[in-house]
Amino acid sequence: MSTFTPQDQSQAPRSPALSFFLLAVVLSLLLLAYVVYLFVAQLSTKKEAEVYGQETTQLQQQVNTLTQKKVGYLQKAKQVLDKIDSQRIYWSKVVHDALLVMPKDAKTGAAKSDFLSYSGSSDGKLIMSMKTVAGSQSPYNDVADVVSAFSKSSVFSSVFVPTISKNQNDQGQAVLTYVLNLTYHGE
Q: What is the pLDDT of residues 33-70, one digit of tens each?
A: 999 998 888 888 888 888 888 889 998 998 888 888 88
Report the C-alpha gap between 104 and 97 in whole angstroms: 14
What confidence score (pLDDT) does residue 14 get? 67
pLDDT at 8 over 90: no
Same domain, 100 and 174: yes
- Provide mean pLDDT across the span 146-153: 95
CA triplet 164, 168, 169: central angle to 5 degrees?
Answer: 120
Q: Are 118 and 127 in contact (CB under 8 A)?
A: yes
SS3 content of the chain, % helix, strand, coil (to 5): 55, 20, 25
Same domain, 165 and 127: yes
- Stated pTM of the model: 0.57
Report the C-alpha gap between 123 and 95 in whole angstroms: 16
Outline where 88-171 has alpha helix (H).
91-101, 139-152
The torsion angle over the Cα atoms of residues 147, 151, 154 and 156, rounded to 10 degrees, is 70
Does residue 114 sit in helix, strand or coil?
A: strand
Same domain, 112 and 166: yes
Give the end of a domain, one of 88, 106, 125: 88
Same domain, 110 and 127: yes
Q: Is 171 inside any structural domain?
A: yes
Q: Is 3 inside any structural domain?
A: no
Give percent above pLDDT 70 in the chain.
92
Give the end of a domain, one of 88, 121, 142: 88
Report the C-alpha gap between 164 and 131 in whole angstroms: 9
CATH number of the structural domain spanning residue 179: 3.30.980
What confidence score (pLDDT) does residue 139 get? 92
Report the C-alpha gap between 113 and 159 in whole angstroms: 15
Same domain, 59 and 123: no
What total number of domains does the chain contain?
A: 2
Q: Is 60 inside any structural domain?
A: yes
Same domain, 140 and 170: yes
User: Which one has a higher pLDDT value, 83 or 129?
Assistant: 129
Q: Is 8 inside any structural domain?
A: no
Instruction: State the chain's mean pLDDT as an integer.
Output: 86
Give the end of a domain, one of 36, 69, 88: 88
Q: Is 4 inside any structural domain?
A: no
Same domain, 106 and 176: yes
Same domain, 24 and 99: no
Q: Is 115 inside any structural domain?
A: yes
Q: Is 2 inside any structural domain?
A: no
Q: In what order do the strands lie in the sheet with 125-132?
A: 113-120, 125-132, 174-184, 156-168
Report the C-alpha gap between 139 and 128 in whole angstroms: 17
Containing structural domain, residue 164: 91-184
pLDDT tens, 67-123?
888 888 888 888 888 887 777 778 888 889 999 999 998 888 889 999 999 998 888
Same domain, 96 and 180: yes
pLDDT at 12 over 60: no
Q: What is the DSSP track for 75-88?
A: HHHHHHHHHHHHH-
What confidence score (pLDDT) does residue 13 get? 63
- Provide mean pLDDT across the span 145-174: 93
Residue type, 87: Q
Residue 132: name the closest of 175, 101, 100, 80 by CA. 175
pLDDT at 4 over 70: no
